[in-house]
């Protein structure tokens, strides 16, 4: 009998991990040491994770060469974004406000940076909100819809039903966010087959206070969720 040719080993999927809302050199180092692919800096005064332009510049310099830097803004004006980009040389603009598809397209052209657009998800009907952004944003970031009257558009420690993304076209580049924790991230990645995850409150011991041990655990458990490429 002829033996069957040996199968090639499955290639693990490439999972990008972003730790957002970093505001201290110590916890930024923890994210870098853990192997985060991206680190996020928040410019939104209502957030407990807000950093000034000067703080953002210092943190971005610390991360340079070790991870990509994302700037999170909420309906920010061009002048502020320009100041932040000049100070940090950020790689990604992450938009969490009411930015229209036209605004997303314009920011990509003006600043020449990768742009992620956050879309809030509460139920299946919200998936339609992403449609206009697929053609203008580099990635759509799915986050849990905040409660009515919430001060923050994200970082509220709330998850949504990940099964809503299970049938999403894998060729569409999206980021999974919203209430992820070290305990839940592996299941979330396996359910959604996301190629990128973003965490903030899930690695904190208090609002805005990151925990190095939780950061390390999150990155390790997210990496453990690699899905063979043939199953994506």
pLDDT score of 147: 61
Each residue of 16-66: pLDDT tens digit?
A: 999 999 999 999 999 999 999 999 999 999 999 999 999 999 999 999 999
Cα–Cα distance between 120 and 86 in angstroms, integer?
29
Measuring CA to CA, how many Å separate 26 from each of 89, 97, 119, 185, 220?
21, 29, 30, 23, 19
Residue 92 has pLDDT above 70, yes or no: yes
Query: What pLDDT is attached to residue 103?
Result: 98
Distance separating alpha carbons of residues 126 and 173, to the nearest angstrom: 17
C-alpha 49/C-alpha 143 separation (Å) is 17
Tens digits of residue pLDDT in 112-168: 999 999 999 999 999 999 999 999 999 999 998 876 555 566 555 678 899 999 888
Q: CB pairs under 8 A, 24+ apart, for 210-215? A: 210/19, 210/21, 210/22, 210/23, 210/24, 210/27, 210/30, 210/31, 211/27, 212/26, 212/27, 212/30, 214/181, 214/182, 215/19, 215/27, 215/30, 215/31, 215/34, 215/36
What is residue 4's predicted lDDT score, i.e. its pLDDT?
43
Q: Which domains does the chain have, with CATH numbers?
A: 16-231 (3.20.20.70)
The pLDDT confidence band at residue 91, using thresholds 50, 70 and 90, is very high
Count of Cβ atoms closer than 10 Å to residue 149 Cβ: 5
Tens-digit pLDDT profile for residues 163-187:
999 888 878 889 999 989 999 999 9
Q: Which pLDDT score, from 0 to 100, does residue 13 have?
A: 59
Assign 225 a pLDDT band (cuts: 50, 70, 90). Answer: confident
| Count of other CB atoms within 10 angstroms of residue 30 | 22
Q: What is the mean pLDDT of residues 195-222?
A: 96
Q: pTM for the whole thing?
A: 0.89
Q: What percent of the chain has pLDDT over 70?
A: 86
Q: Which pLDDT belongs to residue 119?
A: 96
What is residue 148's predicted lDDT score, i.e. its pLDDT? 57
For 98-113, how does the pLDDT look when each residue is reduced to its tens digit (9 = 90+)? 999 999 999 999 999 9
């Amino acid at each position: 009998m002829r033996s069957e040719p040996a199968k090639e080993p499955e290639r693990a999927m490439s999972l990008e991990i972003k730790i957002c809302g970093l505001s201290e050199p110590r916890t930024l180092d923890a994210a870098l040491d853990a192997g985060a692919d991206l680190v996020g800096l928040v410019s939104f005064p209502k957030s407990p994770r807000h950093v000034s332009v000067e703080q953002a510049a210092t943190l971005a310099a610390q991360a340079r060469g070790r991870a990509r830097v994302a700037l999170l803004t909420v309906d920010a004006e061009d002048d502020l974004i320009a100041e932040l980009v000049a100070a940090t040389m950020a790689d990604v603009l992450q938009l969490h406000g009411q930015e229209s598809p036209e605004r997303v397209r314009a920011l990509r052209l003006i600043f020449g940076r990768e742009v992620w657009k956050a879309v809030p998800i509460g139920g299946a009907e919200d998936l339609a909100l992403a449609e206009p952004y697929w053609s203008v944003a580099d990635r759509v970031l799915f986050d849990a819809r905040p409660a009515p009257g919430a001060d923050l558009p994200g970082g509220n420690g709330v998850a949504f039903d990940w099964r809503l993304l299970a049938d999403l076209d894998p060729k569409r580049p999206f980021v999974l966010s919203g209430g992820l924790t070290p305990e839940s991230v592996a299941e979330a990645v396996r359910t959604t087959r996301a190629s990128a995850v973003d965490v903030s409150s899930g690695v904190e011991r208090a609002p805005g206070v990151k925990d190095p041990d939780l950061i390390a655990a999150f990155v390790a458990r997210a990496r453990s969720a690699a899905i063979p490429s043939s199953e994506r």
